[in-house]
Structure 1
Amino acid sequence: MSARAIDMAQGEARQAASLGLAAMPTALALVECATPAALRACSSRLLRDSLGLAWVECLFVEGSGRWLGRDDADVRLDCDDFRHPYAHAIRRGEPLDLSVAEARTRLDHPDFQAQVAALPGALRLQIRPLRALDGPREWLGALALAGEADTLAGLAADAEFAAFEALLCRLWARLARAQGERQRSAVLRDSLAKLNDGARRQSLADQLADDLLGDSAAMQRLRSQVIRAAETQLAVLLQGQTGTGKDCVARAIHRFSARAEGPFMAINCAAIPEALLESELFGHAKGAFSGADQAREGLIGQADGGTLFLDEIGDMPLALQAKLLRVLESGRYRPLGASDERCADLRLVAATHQPLRERIRDQRFRADLYYRLGQFPLSLPPLGERREDIAPLAQAFVADFCAREGRDEVGITPAALRQLRERDYPGNVRELKNLIDYACAMSPPGADLEASALPGEASEPVAEAHAAAPPTASARVDDLRQALRDFEAELIRQRLRYFDGNRALAAESLGVPKRTLAHKCRLLEVDAP
């Protein structure tokens, strides 16, 4: 409670004491309670000890107002269930008085019956509903008392008890409101923290856009997952088709992790002969084998404090898999020919394009290593599933080629972009980059990349002509809008070819303004011949 609320409560407690409650264990003990639950326990103890009652129970109404609960048990009593006396007292808004024997006969709620099972049937039972006295008159709970008939009968006219009950209700309401405010503040702080954390992660994911290009939903999701992975120390397993950029993702995880200042070591397990792979990874001592004239530290040791990236881990020999598993589990390894073990604190990122589950079934990959590597699995989307990213990727690759070759920056014609989007990419992003590099090399310096510069274009004009031909009644059309776009684009190309690229004449022949034709050429990605 606030200092002002405490002062008010203490004043009320002193007023209650002046009415005679000082004969009880001091009413000021109630003021010292910090929570509603502590207040309920304290009041029950004070009443039981001062009045000599056999049983005192203080129940609370939950926030919804529908349930009564007990602090000492995981029990909820429905306020509309009249099989227990608390519902009767709360609905009537006045105390309920009956004998324990009568309660056992008339009321059959199992939880209530369990409460009074040990009480003698001759005792009287009084249920007193409690509600806030200040502000909103919400229900607080119910006070259950069991004792001798004379004792309970005298409470109705007892000014001391009335003062005690009023003090209890006021303190209870204030503590409950203060507790509610604290809970709301905690929820607000938690919400703000999550909002700030989400904004921070989004900002980091946006920084990844220069390394992991693409605005598709798949790439946005991947960048978000990379940031999540980088925040942990879990081993990451990258799975995806060849050429999807697993090396770029591994470097991004390292760059945004707490190990960014440490080394990043990478090795392609499929590119190293089996006889040399163990030495590359674990290192070797001098004289460990023929030609080992000096000791050499392996990549595991070099990656201490940083990240080790194992590409194509599906091709790692089984014997090495067992040794790698031990490094992951204990952080200890032994170089070839060495007598002492060494320690390495590293984060492992592994990648493969192979179906590891199938290799496990074929007993070519260890299941325990697979589950240890896959603490944070990431699947990289193939380029065919994010074709909307082809245009920005192609433009970035053209800019990269021009920078590497010292050329002036050039663009890509709409026809070239259209052809790039229509291709299949078994090699994914790597294949697209190779296509762009080849086309740039085949294009004159300063000239935009044309569709004719792309490899394979010379062998496709017949197929393209058939594909662009107007649909016939017997042709299968799965997308009417696309079919109409294709027909319109082909008709405009034919007119432009007929008029040697003169858009004014082509527009006139089609009965549209020149500006409309220019807009359609941009929209349909039609180039002038």
Structure 2
Amino acid sequence: MTQPVAPTAESSALSVELSAMPLALTLVESHCAATLRQRSATLLKRHLGLALAECLYIDGSGRWLGRDGDEGQFDCGDFHHPYAHVIRSGKPLTLSVADARIRLDHPGFQSQVASLGSALHLHVRPLRGVEGTREWLGVMLLAGTPARLLALTEDPGMAAFEALLCRLWMRLAREQGERHRSRILQDSLAKLNDGTRRQALADQLAEDLLGQSAAMQALRRHIVRAAETNLAVLLQGETGTGKDRVARAMHQLSARANGPFMAINCAAIPEALLESELFGHGKGAFSGADHAREGLISQADGGTLFLDEIGDMPLALQAKLLRVLESGRYRPLGENEERCADLRVVAATHQPLREQIKEQRFRADLYYRLGQFPITLPPLNERRDDIAQLAQSFITDFCAREGRDEMGITPAALRLLYRRDYPGNVRELKNVIDYACAMTPHGADIDTYVLPGEQDSQLADSGLDDMVAPAEEMPLALPGDIDDLRQTMRDIESTIIRQRLRLFGGNRAQAAQSLGLPKRTLAHKCQLLELDIK
């Protein structure tokens, strides 16, 4: 493809031009490899009168040649363009534009040289980081007259220019790689620190929002993320799942923690009074308004406003609330001047708002404005692993509130609690525990007969443990003639412990928990009874 052309006088000043100090400084001052490539191409084209000069770079995969400015890329294995020939051979290539248009049909390459005259020639040079290595940087494309291109290939100034370009390119590429790795490391450390901080806050929430189930751990993480924003939060879930506690926890973790937390149940206040409660009113606004009153929106300024049972808010009031959310402005009843409030709204409902929207009982625009950060609270039936911890917490609260001595709960009673349905969720469980605590005699633990709905004599007399015990446990056969009660009790205890260990595959912690015993106590009993618990 190469067509030799005799040197001409037009190359006599090339060495001086290409090695001039200002040109070298222009390249050295480049702050990134892309700028270096662009400046190099501009200098070659401007000072040497070339029709085209461009530097293409090999990407990190080594498969693609890219052009600065997102102007397309070339596959290094596609020989429909000249760059693949140069990369594969490692040698420069010169050909006429006319030949290139006939022999090379790559669309991107043809578009690149479309504006060039057929009399011009193309010269493609491979660029490496350090001479003698296989570390490719890219290729250089030059277009000009045959005489000018031949002069360039033989000119020492061009060789010096190319060497400087490759050295600077290599250095900038390495610096950019180091900066990239440094950013990745910093981002990783920042994410790690953020993750550690968020996990610490989520663990802190576990003191108030009890439960170690996967559903509760996920809920606490969502609360932490929501607290970091100023977005409106919509809490959805069945009744009794603790939406009010979640709202307060979110406020305490937010940047508004030092501000007020104001709450209102939209279903508990008559429609005629709800607007006054929220927006306040001026003196004489309606009959009986003998003095002005600040509404909850005003009182929540700088803090959080919790709107419980938002699904029961009247449509007319929904429109006014939407304006507060969008502009922060509101007008008390009976007043002409608007006021401003800076607050974060947390709303909650157990109602299906999407169905209410279809029935035109709830505004769609308010729903989407409230639901900037939606959170769904899990029902108790989806977190049964938390029942034991919740029950013990409610027992402790009852004893402290009523001045009762500490009490526990028997394994049989706990098994019944696990098997119950809880349409009222955590609130229902608390009511069950409070009732059972009140019915339990002093000095005793909560047992099955004091649980509401479980006093049926048939259940109590027919062996309740058999009904609720796991299927893997066989009922105990008591001997007809007992002449040593102590030994008989030891045998029964030994049998029960053996069955429970076998049920849990030898896991002492689970067996102890199912029997209502500390793990250390179970281990001591196994030692006394000479049971193998390994």
Q: TM-score range by the shorter chain?
A: 0.7 to 0.9
Deviations, residues 252-302 of structure 1 (Å, cap 9, x unaligned) = 111111111010011111111111111111111111122111111111111
1:522 deviates by: 4.2
Match of 1:478 in 2: none
* Cα displacement (A) at 1:498: 10
- Distance change in 2, residues 1:406/1:87 (3 Å): same
Q: Matched residue of 2:72: which SS? A: strand
1:274 aligns with 2:271: yes
Report matched runs for 1:71-220 at 5 Å: 71-133=68-130, 137-220=134-217
Q: Distance in 2 between matches of 1:497 and 1:135?
A: 98
Is the CA contact 1:507–1:514 (under 8 Å) kept in the aligned structure 2? no
Instruction: Quote how far apart the aligned CAs of 1:409 are.
Output: 2.1
Instruction: Give, in whole Å, the separation in 2 of the partners of 1:391 and 1:499.
Output: 37
Match for 1:516 among 498, 519, 522? 498
- Cα displacement string for residues 156-176 of structure 1 (whole angstroms, at most 9, x for unaligned residues): 332221111111111111111
- Alignment partners' CA distance in 2, 1:497 and 1:335: 82
1:357 CA displacement: 1.3
TM-score by length of 2: 0.87
- For residue 30 of structure 1, the aligned residue among 27, 30, 47 is 27
**1:259 equivalent among 239, 252, 256:** 256
- C-alpha distance in structure 1 between counterparts of 2:45 and 2:369, whole Å: 60
Change (3 A) 1:385 1:515: closer
Residues 503 and 514 in structure 1, CA contact (< 8 A), matched pair in contact too:
no
Which residue of structure 2 aligns with residue 433 of structure 1?
430
**Is the 2:17–2:47 Cα contact (8 Å) retained in structure 1?**
no
Alpha-carbon distance in structure 2 between the residues aligned to 1:500 and 1:404? 47
Instruction: Please report how far the alpha carbon of residue 54 of structure 1 lies from its aligned counterpart in structure 2 after TM superposition.
Output: 1.5
Amino acid at match of 1:108: D
Q: 1:216 to 1:23 in 2, by over 3 A?
A: closer
1:305-343 residue CA offsets vs partner (Å, 9 max, x unmatched)? 111111111111111111111111111111111121111
Which residue of structure 2 aligns with residue 488 of structure 1? 473
> Is the 2:86–2:92 Cα contact (8 Å) retained in structure 1?
yes
How many angstroms does 1:408 deviate by? 2.5
Unpaired segments ≥5 residues, structure 1: 1-16, 471-481
Instruction: Determine if the alignment matches structure 1 residue 287 to structure 2 residue 284.
Output: yes
Matches within 5 A, 1:491-502: 491-492=475-476, 495=478
Letter in 2 for 1:488: E
Aligned ranges 1:247-396 → 2 under 5 Å:
247-396=244-393
Paired residues for 1:217-236 under 5 Å: 217-236=214-233
Distance (whole Å) between structure 2 residues aligned to residue 457 and residue 525 of structure 1: 20
Structure 1 Cα separation of the partners of residues 63 and 483 of structure 2:
82
Match of 1:474 in 2: none
For the pair 1:412 / 2:397, whether they are aligned, the reply is no
Q: CA deviation at 1:244?
A: 0.4
Shift in alpha-carbon separation, 1:207–1:147, aligned structure 2, 3 A: same
2:488 matched to which residue of 1?
505
| Matched-pair contact (CA < 8 Å) for 1:36–1:176 | yes
Assess, with a 3 A threshold, how the Cα gap between structure 1 residues 462 and 400 changes in structure 2: closer, same or farther: closer
Secondary structure, counterpart of 1:417 in structure 2: helix
Secondary structure of the corresponding residue to residue 423 of structure 2 = coil
Q: Does the CA contact (< 8 Å) of 2:263 and 2:305 recur in 1?
A: yes
* Distance change >3 Å, CA 115–CA 198, structure 1 → 2: same
Distance (Å, rounded) in 2 between the aligned partners of 1:43 and 1:497: 104
**Does the CA-based 8 Å contact 2:80-2:104 persist in structure 1?**
yes
**Cα offset, 1:504, TM superposition:** 4.0
TM-score of the two chains, using structure 1 as the length reference: 0.88
SS at match of 1:486: coil
- Mean CA deviation greater in 114-123 or 256-265: 114-123
| Alignment CA distance shift 1:244-1:20 (3 Å) | closer
CA 1:294–1:134 in structure 2 vs 1: closer, same or farther (change >3 Å)? Answer: farther
8 Å contact from structure 1 (residues 205, 223) kept in 2: yes
Kept in 2, the 8 Å contact 1:25–1:46? The answer is no
Q: CA deviation at 1:508?
A: 3.9
2:522 corresponds to:
none
The 3 A distance-change label for structure 1 pair 499 and 309 is: farther
Per-residue deviation at 1:452? 1.7
Cα pair distance change 1:464/1:88, threshold 3 Å? farther
Does 1:444 pair with 2:441?
Answer: yes
Structure 2 residue ranges without an equivalent (≥5): 1-13, 503-510, 518-534
Question: 2:473 is paired with a residue of what secondary structure?
Answer: helix
- Aligned pair in 2 of structure 1 residues 324, 20: CA closer, same or farther (>3 Å)? closer
**What's the CA shift string for 1:74-113, capped at 9, x where partnerless?**
3010000000001101100010011111111110101111
Instruction: Please give the secondary structure, in 2, of the residue aligned with 1:213.
Output: coil
Task: Give, in whole Å, the separation in 2 of the partners of 1:303 and 1:176.
Answer: 55
The answer on whether the counterparts of 2:19 and 2:160 sit within 8 Å (CA) in structure 1 is no
Distance across 2 between alignment mates of 1:240 and 1:506: 48
TM-fit CA distance, 1:51: 2.4
CA drift at 1:25: 5.4
Tell me the distance in 1 between the aligned counterparts of 2:141 and 2:150. 14
Tell me which moved more, 307-316 or 27-36. Answer: 27-36
SS in 2 for 1:27: helix
Pairwise CA distance, 1:463: 9.4
Which range moved further: 398-407 or 418-427?
398-407
What corresponds to 2:61 in structure 1?
64
Deviates more, 1:249-258 or 1:458-467: 458-467
How far, CA to CA, are the matches of 2:279 and 2:465 in structure 1?
58
SS of equivalent residue, structure 1 residue 488: coil
SS class of match (1:348): strand
Give how far 1:142 is off. Answer: 0.4
Whether contact under 8 Å (2:473, 2:499) holds in the other structure is no
* Letter of the 1:230 counterpart: A
The answer as to 2:451 corresponding to 1:454 is yes
Other structure's SS at 2:443 match: coil
Name 1:4's counterpart in structure 2. Answer: none
Deviation per residue, 1:205-261 (Å, 9 max, x gap): 110001111000000000000111111111111111110000000101111111110
